[in-house]
Amino acid sequence: MADPPIRWGILGAGAIAATVGADIAATPGNVLHAVAARDGARAAAFAAAHGVSRSYGSYADLVGDPDVDVVYIATTHGQHYDHALLALEAGKPILVEKAFTLNAAQARQVVDTARARGLFCMEAMWIRFNPLVRQAVDIVNSGRIGDVVGVRADLSRHFPYDATHRLFDLLAGGGALLDLGVYPTTMAWLFLGRPDTVHAVGALSPTGSDLTSAMQWGYTDGRVAQLYCSAAGDSPFAALVTGTAGWIAIEPRIHRPVRLVVHDPSGDEVIDAEPQIGNGYGYQVLEVDRCLRTGALESPLVALEETVRILEVLDEARRQVGVRYAADEQE
């Protein structure tokens, strides 16, 4: 007899909920069971458009639904902390959209709560599951390009200034670092680990959110990372991993790579991605599925300690650039 499907509840009815929700629905063994939004009519419209069984005008009502097996938190950054705790306290496993929370202190409390309650918890850092990114990690670990000496990574996109847009709204957790910079930060972390020093510069929007940020990471053994993100202009650059015997270019966009170019003493090899299934989020849905069915409380590919420590680095970068959230004052 086939295992029963995993029934997902989604907090939030915006664009990312629709995009990831489509991949959840397309993943065998998983179904969209419920969606909630502050506006019940919006949740009902989302449910009708995406084939969701139930809709709620209250987040508390969704996490209280006994038929929801896991909650995907797709609200804005500034709401992740409260909604993660709401779901965990209702006994629900959670997948939390990136950035996981506004800062490391919030992340630590969510992680500690999940562990105390014995519930699965994961940040939806989907590039960690991308097959090309996993292949790049494997190539580096094989020693093919020698010892890694540096990483350069960038994700930028032009957002016309609008003080009410989530990217410029500090209450919503606005800023390029949490929205875009979390990707190059994660990419560098995959190949270099936690930096010993962080130096950051940037420019602020009129609301005080970070518009552009650049980070230089240093390591006591001489390795470096150069990371950039901006909401002020587009960029085609993705990531470059440099080693003592070659390099790997992850192209063309860090969050949606389509090829690797691997250079070693024998020359260049181009590795093209397999045709993408859905919107590319299905790989992380499969990992949540695997963890829930096997009783795992976290994924080895998105270790909760790394989620917290990456936010510690982003906290320091924000401090140097001059961005403060109200949540920072509560630490």
DSSP secondary structure of 254-299: TTS--EEEEEETTEEEEEEPPPPPTTS-HHHHHHHHHHHHHT-SS-
Q: Has 92 been annotated as catalytic?
A: no
Close Cβ partners of 243 (under 8 Å, ≥ 6 residues apart): 140, 145, 146, 147, 148, 149
Tell me which residue of 281, 257, 284 sits closest to 136, measured CA to CA: 257
Name 152's bridge partners: 226, 240
CB neighbour class for 48 (10 Å; exposed up to 12, middle 13-18, buried from 19): exposed
One-letter amino acid at 167 equals: L
Is the link from the previous residue into 252 a cis peptide, with omega within 30 of 0?
A: yes
Backbone angles phi, psi at 163, to 5 degrees: -60, -20
One-letter amino acid at 190 equals: L
Catalytic residue among 54, 83, 98, 166: 98
Active site residues: 98
